[in-house]
Amino acid sequence: MNRRALLRGLPAGEPPARLPAPPEGRWGWGDRLKAARLAMGSFFEVQLPAAMPGALALAELALDLVDRLESQLTIYRDDSELSRVNAQAYEGPVPVEARLFELLTWATALGRETQNAYDVASGALSIAWGFIRGPRRVPDAAALQEARSKSGSELVRLDPEARTVHFTRPGVVLNLGSIGKGYAVDRAIELIRRHPWPTSALVQAGQSSVYGLGSPPGQLGGGWAVSLRNPFDPDRPLGTIWLKNRGLGTSGAAFQSFEAGGRTYGHVIDPRTGEPPSSGPSSVTVLAPSAAEADALSTAFYLLGPLASAHYVARHPEVSALFVVDRAPAKSEVHFPEIVALNVRGSDFESDPLIPVRPVTLPSSGEFTAQVR
């Protein structure tokens, strides 16, 4: 597939840069340019007003940035900066690029805020379960204990003055897989914001990491329409989310899983137990000020559940969450989805009329205690 930006509806083999310019006046202010590219194991798409001068060039610059970030953040390539950190940080402090250091600092702080329901240093667990490089498997007790001993942000030392990363034991693996796409979306939005011509934009990585900047072309106010994924029937969304200057992240075991011994194991591993949870919501979608934050919190909230997550949201009113739960009996072949909503306004979300929505009253802000389920 062509690695340059692809214009939807055009043959993949033709580079967009070679296409003739449209006749003057062809594009209206409500028209959108959509450019896309494969990156980070997903399909990144940039939507911009088609009538904006330089829209295609700006979209390509944003997608080029995503490519560079993938080369820096992936752990599937030995020559990436993050792989170098994982290979060398036990031997001694490893200097890292400034923005990567900021990301790691922020990620470890968010882990503490969620009482380790999110942990950027839990890559050894994903390796043990085969979700990184495979094969997917249930590790035996000794392998699981070994992976747990190599996991946890308490094993990572960040030196802000020297801008270095150091591990206190060998085998620690930093893995940005749960926030890498959201971070790349945020960086693309940051680049678009700096464009001399003020513009709106939608940048998304698949359907799981999204940011909506401003309002869509041709609209005075309002947000970008993004479908709430249905984990049971991908062709039938559960509703529409309206994004304006906000990020979105979705996590759920239904999107990556395997079966063993009559049980389904999802790819979201609880860093506090070292195992995927045996029960919980089908998916969690979070709205937050950035796509990276929404990504990280969707993972944490998936593990925490609605009640513990409500305590976090009470302390962070800028965050909203939609939990999709199945009201059908266990092992039923028929699903009855219900949406549990935390701090979701009517202007944020419009549900399918046939899908029940249950708002949760937020507790008074206070001490946040995360329970291991």
pLDDT tens digits, one per residue of 36-90: 999 999 999 999 999 999 999 999 999 999 999 999 999 999 999 999 999 999 9
**The pLDDT value given to residue 195:** 93
Amino acid at 3: R
In a domain, 300, yes or no: no
**The pLDDT value given to residue 95:** 98
In a domain, 101, yes or no: yes
Once rounded to an integer, what is the mean pLDDT over residues 243-265? 90
Opening angle at CA 251, ends 257 and 152, nearest 5: 85
In a domain, 114, yes or no: yes
In a domain, 339, yes or no: no
More confident residue, 234 or 180: 180
Q: Which domain holds residue 138?
A: 81-167
Q: What is the CA radius of gyration of the chain?
A: 21
pLDDT category at 4 given cuts 50, 70, 90 is very low
pLDDT tens digits, one per residue of 125-177: 999 999 998 899 999 999 999 999 999 999 999 999 999 999 999 999 999 99
Confidence check: pLDDT of 13 > 70: no
In a domain, 150, yes or no: yes
Residue given tokens 């305590």 in the structure block? 311
More confident residue, 25 or 132: 132
Share of the chain above pLDDT 70, in %: 90
> CB neighbours (10 Å) of residue 28?
11
Q: Is the torsion defined by CA of 360, 361, 367, 371 positive or negative?
A: negative
Confidence check: pLDDT of 364 > 90: no
**The pLDDT value given to residue 21:** 45
**The pLDDT value given to residue 256:** 82
Confidence check: pLDDT of 226 > 90: yes
User: CA 327, CA 180: separation in Å to the nearest integer?
Assistant: 32
In a domain, 289, yes or no: no
Q: Which phi-psi region, left, alpha or beta, contains residue 274 (left: φ > 0; alpha: ψ -120 to 50)?
A: left
**The pLDDT value given to residue 27:** 66
In a domain, 369, yes or no: no
User: CA 305, CA 321: separation in Å to the nearest integer?
Assistant: 11
pLDDT category at 366 given cuts 50, 70, 90 is low
SS3 95: strand
E-strand ranges in 261-356 read 263-266, 283-288, 320-326, 337-342, 349-351
Backbone angles phi, psi at 101, to 5 degrees: -65, -40
User: CA 182, CA 250: separation in Å to the nearest integer?
Assistant: 10
Q: How far is CA 72 from CA 67, 69, 97, 100, 180, in A?
A: 9, 5, 10, 9, 10
Q: How far is CA 252 from CA 178, 257, 301, in A?
A: 11, 9, 10
Among residues 254, 193, 202, the alpha carbon closest in space to that of 227 is found at 202
Confidence check: pLDDT of 188 > 50: yes
Supply the CATH number for residue 88's domain. Answer: 1.10.3980.10
In sequence order, the 6+-apart residues with CB closer than 8 A to the CB of 64 are none
Q: How many domains does the chain have?
A: 1
Once rounded to an integer, what is the mean pLDDT over residues 328-353? 91
In a domain, 100, yes or no: yes
